[in-house]
Structure 1
Amino acid sequence: MAADSPVPLATAAQLQEGPYADLVRSYSPQALSDLMIEATRMCEGAAGRRLAPFTGLVETERSTGIDPDEYIDAGNVPLDLAGTLGQSYAYAMGTTSLARHGWLQEFAPKYQDLWAYSLQTITIHRSYGGDQQVNLSTVRGPDPDTGHIWFPIGEFLPLGSFVTYVYGGGYSTIPADLVRAGKYMAASIAVRELDPTMAGHGHDPDVLAADAEAICASYGRG
């Protein structure tokens, strides 16, 4: 049994439709399902990022830096009630250096139109004490092509605070080349399990794995 159960990049049925069906004809349905999961995780390892749909991922970043054009020391900037209260609190705490940007580590390197986010929670941990859950309706993003999140003016997010994101994402529709990579990787695993010498199958596991990794490399972190 596989340790986890992501949505596979290529399904068992897709693997069985083509020339690799002979490699898995003796696999039980559960073993075949596990194979596709393992192939998916290996493809993600080759790319160095999440590709298949996921949920409940926890990331923490430290808020650093601020665009000089986004300092909010001008008294004539119109704010809603929440922004006004946040700004007033920031002044009371002796700071106006509030971060406005966050960045999720997982985003779509290409085919952004096929990527879907589900932002679950954002929690601010301030260095001098006090945690706060952010009202997600006030946040812009995340943007699928960058993972960028834009906090509203007045959000009390001092520089140096830690921010914890809990979210889901991934390709809601798997790009065709990733489906191909998943099949290559699964076939490579199957060949090694059935016949490490490759005799009698006509499939080279090293070539298959290399082909899968070459596709995944185009999704890697530059």
Structure 2
Amino acid sequence: MVLDAVTPLATVAQLVSGPFADLFVNFPPDVVAGFLADATRMCEDECDRRLAPFTGIIESHRAAGIDPDEYGDAGGIPIDPQGVVGASYAAALGTTSLVRHVYLEQYAPRYPEMWSYSSISVLILRSFGGSQLIDPARLVGPEPDTGHLWFPLGTYLPTGSLIRVTYSGGYTNTVPASLSRACRYMAAHLAVTELRPGSTAHDADELKAQAAEILASYVRPA
């Protein structure tokens, strides 16, 4: 069995030195870290999105819909040499109406400046057969605030193809303070309900409600 190696949204030091220190005072750091890991996943479950740093997520998207405002034909308008080559390649294949956008499921709901992506890999499996691994250097994005990934002009991506994206990311360097606090509330909720159900100093339901209130602004739109 492989254990969940999540990086918690709060640190052991933050938890044991704050107002919930009494709940964890008798536990070694690795046990406290386990509570924070569980609390982190509970925060993500509450928001229906990844928040902590993640590695190697694989997403599959169906190439669907071509933006009518997308400019697919050079049409005499000056474009850079790479764009000319791409447009020429697409025209040689018999079409300039190709899908150029995909939106990743995981992106920053708030504070995009603290979010980062890495290790982007994009494989196109075309609807009629054949595949192509896209050079990440040719892609634009993904953008932290939307997850928007933009394919260069001329990428042969017909409607109905499968776009398989593998990537890493999350709040990798800086965790928003509100998320860190929500994680600590959730960890304290676990401690009260599982370890000290008779505690009068902390109310388990109130702790979880406070965490949920903070996380509301991170929840994925319906």
- Asked whether the two chains share a fold, i.e. TM above 0.5, the reply is yes
Q: Report the equivalent of 2:115.
A: 115
Structure 1 position 86, deviation (Å): 3.7
- 1:181 equivalent to 2:185? Answer no
1:83 to 83, 86, 105: 86
Structure 1 position 63, deviation (Å): 1.0
| Residue 49 to residue 145, structure 1, CA distance change in 2 (3 Å) | same
Q: Report the equivalent of 1:35.
A: 35
| Aligned pairs (5 A) from 1:6-155 | 6-74=6-74, 76=76, 78=79, 79-80=81-82, 83-84=86-87, 86-88=89-91, 90-91=93-94, 95-155=95-155
Q: Report the equivalent of 2:159.
A: 159
Runs of 4+ in 1 over 2 A off after TM superposition: 69-82
Letter in 2 for 1:61: H
| C-alpha separation in 2, matches of 1:2 and 1:125 | 30
Q: Does the 8 Å contact 1:97/1:159 carry over to 2?
A: no
CA RMSD, 1 decimal? 1.9
| Residue 2 to residue 32, structure 1, CA distance change in 2 (3 Å) | farther
Structure 1 position 122, deviation (Å): 0.4
Structure 1 position 89, deviation (Å): 5.1
- 1:212 equivalent to 2:211? Answer yes
- 1:195 equivalent to 2:222? Answer no
Structure 1 position 137, deviation (Å): 0.7
| C-alpha separation in 2, matches of 1:208 and 1:2 | 30
Q: Secondary structure at the match of 2:153?
A: coil
Q: Does the 8 Å contact 1:2/1:34 carry over to 2?
A: no
Q: Secondary structure at the match of 1:117?
A: strand
Q: Does the 8 Å contact 2:57/2:166 carry over to 1?
A: yes
Structure 1 position 19, deviation (Å): 1.5
TM-score (norm 1): 0.91
CA deviations over 1:35-62 (Å, ceiling 9, x no partner): 1100000001111111111110110101
| C-alpha separation in 1, matches of 2:209 and 2:54 | 25
Structure 1 position 82, deviation (Å): 5.5
Letter in 1 for 2:93: A
Q: Secondary structure at the match of 2:69?
A: helix
Q: Report the equivalent of 1:168.
A: 168
Q: Does the 8 Å contact 2:108/2:115 carry over to 1?
A: yes
| Structure 1 unpaired stretches of 5+ | none
Q: Does the 8 Å contact 1:125/1:163 carry over to 2?
A: yes
CA deviations over 1:146-191 (Å, ceiling 9, x no partner): 0001111101111111101111111130000111001100001011
Give the percent of matched residue pairs that are identical in Structure 1 and Structure 2.
Answer: 49
Structure 1 position 73, deviation (Å): 3.9
Moved more, 104-113 or 24-33: 24-33
Q: Does the 8 Å contact 1:64/1:99 carry over to 2?
A: yes
